[in-house]
Structure 1
Amino acid sequence: MGFPGSVPLVLLLSACCILAAAQLPLVINTWPFKGATQRAWDTLQSGGSAVDAVEKGCSQCEVDQCDGTVGYGGSPDEHGETTLDAMIMNGNTIELGAVGDLRRIKSAISVARAVMEHSSHSLLVGQSASMFAQNMGFLSEDLMTNKSLSMHAEWLSKNCQPNFWKNVIPNARKSCGPYKRMKGPWSKKHRMPVKVANVHNHDTIGMIVIDKSSTVVAGTTTNGASHKIPGRVGDSPIAGAGAYADSTVGAAAATGMGDIMMRFLPSYQAVEYMRMGIEPTAACQNAIKRIQKYYPKLFGAMICANRTGGYGKCSKQTLSDE
C-alpha cells in the first residue's frame, strides 16, 4: 500500500515478516496509523527535513490519539494521570532527544526534539521535563479526558485489575494497594502475569524517515502502559530500545512489552545486524529472536530500514502467562 510518490506504509498486523525493495525517500511506521505516515510524507514533499518529517508525523498521532495509546487522554496510570514518553534520533549526528513520564504537555515528540536541539542532554523525565518544556514555550494543560478518567474509574471498580505489582501484600491479584514488600522466597502465584500488557493497552508509534540524501531519522511517542505504576518509563524513549538511527547504516523501531524489550536494546541490535550486511527483515527477526530466547511468548514487533531504502518488519504477538 502506498501514497503518492510510492512511499510505502508498513502495517504490523500479522506475525509474518516481509522484505520490500529499496526506494527513497521512505516513510514507514508501526501500526496502521495512516494519518501519521501521510503527514510525515507531506512534510518531506514540501521541503522539510527528515527530522521535521518524524516530528510532524509523530505529532499527528499525538493529536489523533492513535488507538488511544499515543498522546493525551489515554493509558492512565494508577493515579488516573496520563503521562507521555517520546524520543527522536538524528542518524547523521547520532544526536538524540527524549522525554519520559512527561506530564501536562501534549507535544511529547516536539519536547523530545527540543531536548536534542536546545540541551546537551539526551533524556529528561518527570516534572523536570515538564518544566523544561514550559521554558521552551510549550503550553501546560491537562492530559486527562473523560475517557481516560472513565478507564481509571472502571479499573478501580475491578479491584485494580490488572496491575504491574508482584511479590507484595496485600495480594495484587485481588485488591488495590497501597502495597508493601513481601519477604521472600516468593511463589509464582504471587506474581502478576506478563499479559497485563498487550497490543490494546500499551502500544506506541515508531517511525523511520529516510530522505533522498539518505539522512536517517527515527522517533517514537506513546502514553505508555495502562494502569502503570506512577513514574514508570517504558522502552520508547530509551536509545537503542524504542528506536535507533545511524545514517551510515539505517534505522529500527520496536513496539511491544516495553519493560522486557528495553532489556535487550532490540533497535540498536537490529541496526548492528544491518551494519554486518544482514537485510532488514532478517535483522528484525534476529533481534526479536534474541528476546524470545528468554521470553518465548513475548509480544513484540519491529520495523527496520537500511540507508538505501530497503525495509522489513517482523512481529511476534503471542502473550505470556509467565
Structure 2
Amino acid sequence: MKRRKFLRNSSTLAAGIVSAPILASCQEIPATKATTKAGIIPIAICTWDFGNATAKAWEVLQKGGNALDAVHQGVMVEENDLSNSTVGNGGRPDRDGNVTLDACIMDKDGNCGAVLAMQNIANPISVARKVMEETPHVMLAGKGAEQFAYEQGFEKTELLTEESKQAWEEWKKTSQYKPIINIENHDTIGMLAIDTDGDIAGACTTSGMAYKMAGRVGDSPIIGAGLFVDNEVGGATATGVGEEVVRTVGSFLIVELMRQGKSPQEACEEGVKRIIAKNKDKQDFQIGFIAINKKGETGGYCIHPGFTYRTYTKEGHINNPSDSYLKS
C-alpha cells in the first residue's frame, strides 16, 4: 500500500575519506570566524568538500527541479564513487569484512524513509526514498531492507572493492579501532537543499565507521539525529562520531533552536556545545553540523578544526571552512 494512501486511510497514525575532486570553478573562502551566510534561494549545501555532489544537486535546482530530487541525486554521486571509501559502493567494511550501508531522506512535508545496516545494494538513498514513498514505515533494517530493495527492482551488488578489502586485511593485523579526527570521520555526506518554491529537503548516506562492530548503526539514518527537516523552519545534518549525535538528537535540536529564533550558525554552535557538555573529559572525536533556515541562510560548526562544507548558489560554488570549538 502506498504510504500516502495508508496515512489517509488510517485514523490511528499520528500527524522521517573526502574523495570528490574539486571542480575547476569552485571557490574557497578564507578560514575566518564563521558567521551565518546571507540567505540565497535556491541553494544546495553538504557536509565536507563533496563538490561533485553539490554540483549535481545544483543542476537539478537550476532546471526547476524540487529539493527532494536535488538531494537524492546529489548524494548518489558519492554513493557511486568507488574511490570514496566511506559512502556507498566501495565503502570500508565492518570488522567482519561486510560493507553495510545506512541512509535516510526527508521531504518538505515531513515524510521520511531510512535503511539501516543494509548489504549488497549500491544506492541506499534510493531505497530509503522507496521506504518513504511505497511503505507505511520510516525505517527498514538489515535483511529486511535488502529484501525490500530486491522487491523494488534493485540489483544485488558486491560492495567490497579490492582496495577496501586490502585495507581491511591490513587493519586486521592490529585490529586497532580508533577513529582519526578528520580522516576516518569523513564517513558521511549529509545534504540540504531549498528549491525555487522555497521548499526544503535533506538526505544523508554513509557506510559508517570503518571496521565497526557488526550491526553498528550511527546517527546518519536516524531521523532527528543525523538529519532533520522542518519546512517551516529549516534543516540540519551531521557528520562525525554518530553515537554522540544520537545522544543529543543533534539535528532536531538545531532545527528547534532555529525555531526559537537562533540563526543557523548560532544553532550549530549550540548543538556542538551540548555534545561537549556531555563529554567534558573526552574530546578526541570530531562532530560537524551544518544547517539552513527557510530564508536560505546557512551555518556550520564543529569540535576540531578541519571540517568544511560546500554551498552552491547563483553566487558560486564555495567550500566553507567551519569554525570550531577547539582551535588546535
Normalised by the length of structure 2, the TM-score is 0.81
Q: 2:176: which partner in 1?
A: 161
Q: 2:182: which partner in 1?
A: 199
Q: Measure the CA separation in 1 of the matches of 2:109 and 2:200.
A: 10
The SS at the match of 1:88 is strand
Q: Cα offset for 1:318?
A: 7.2
Letter in structure 2 aligned against 1:201: E
Q: Measure the CA separation in 2 of the matches of 1:283 and 1:10.
A: 23
Identity over the aligned pairs, expressed in percent?
39
1:94 to 96, 104, 110: 110
Q: Measure the CA separation in 2 of the matches of 1:261 and 1:204.
A: 13
Letter in structure 2 aligned against 1:41: W
Q: Measure the CA separation in 1 of the matches of 2:47 and 2:31.
A: 12
8 A Cα contact 1:103 1:130, kept in partner: yes
Q: Cα offset for 1:79?
A: 1.0
Q: Are residue 131 (structure 1) and residue 147 (structure 2) matched?
A: yes
Q: Cα offset for 1:259?
A: 1.5
Q: Are residue 141 (structure 1) and residue 157 (structure 2) matched?
A: yes
Letter in structure 2 aligned against 1:60: V
Q: Measure the CA separation in 2 of the matches of 1:273 and 1:310.
A: 14
Inter-CA distance 96–66: structure 2 relative to 1 (3 Å threshold): farther
The SS at the match of 1:244 is strand
Q: 1:215: which partner in 2?
A: 199
Give every structure 1 segment of 4 or more consecutive aligned residues whose post-TM-superposition deviation is greater than 4 Å: 8-11, 13-16
Inter-CA distance 268–35: structure 2 relative to 1 (3 Å threshold): same
Q: Are residue 47 (structure 1) and residue 64 (structure 2) matched?
A: yes
Q: Cα offset for 1:196?
A: 3.0
Q: Measure the CA separation in 2 of the matches of 1:148 and 1:128.
A: 25
Q: 1:62: which partner in 2?
A: 79
Inter-CA distance 29–65: structure 2 relative to 1 (3 Å threshold): farther
8 A Cα contact 2:85 2:164, kept in partner: no
Letter in structure 2 aligned against 1:277: G
Letter in structure 2 aligned against 1:46: K
8 A Cα contact 2:200 2:235, kept in partner: yes
Inter-CA distance 37–9: structure 2 relative to 1 (3 Å threshold): farther
Q: Which moved more, 1:17-26 or 1:104-113?
A: 17-26
8 A Cα contact 2:61 2:196, kept in partner: no
Name the count of aligned residue pairs. 281
Inter-CA distance 18–69: structure 2 relative to 1 (3 Å threshold): farther
Q: Are residue 313 (structure 1) and residue 300 (structure 2) matched?
A: yes
Q: Cα offset for 1:269?
A: 0.3
Q: Cα offset for 1:48?
A: 2.0
Q: 1:264: which partner in 2?
A: 248
Deviations 1:207-241 (A, max 9, x none): 00011222110110111001101111110000111
Q: Are residue 27 (structure 1) and residue 44 (structure 2) matched?
A: yes
Normalised by the length of structure 1, the TM-score is 0.82
- Structure 2, unaligned stretches of length 5 or more? 1-21, 307-325
Q: Cα offset for 1:9?
A: 8.6
8 A Cα contact 1:10 1:28, kept in partner: no
1:249 to 233, 242, 245: 233
8 A Cα contact 1:10 1:32, kept in partner: no
1:302 to 269, 278, 289: 289
- Structure 1, unaligned stretches of length 5 or more? 163-194
Q: Measure the CA separation in 2 of the matches of 1:130 and 1:161.
A: 30
Inter-CA distance 251–291: structure 2 relative to 1 (3 Å threshold): same
Q: Measure the CA separation in 1 of the matches of 2:155 and 2:90.
A: 16
Deviations 1:282-312 (A, max 9, x none): 0000011111001241411110100110111
Pairs within 5 Å for 1:272-311: 272-296=256-280, 297=283, 298-311=285-298
Q: Measure the CA separation in 2 of the matches of 1:39 and 1:15.
A: 28
Q: 1:115: which partner in 2?
A: 131
Inter-CA distance 270–128: structure 2 relative to 1 (3 Å threshold): same
Inter-CA distance 130–248: structure 2 relative to 1 (3 Å threshold): same
Q: 2:18: which partner in 1?
A: none
Q: 1:192: which partner in 2?
A: none
Inter-CA distance 31–282: structure 2 relative to 1 (3 Å threshold): same
Deviations 1:151-185 (A, max 9, x none): 11101122x112xxxxxxxxxxxxxxxxxxxxxxx
Q: Cα offset for 1:65?
A: 4.2
8 A Cα contact 1:255 1:301, kept in partner: yes
Q: Cα offset for 1:197?
A: 5.3
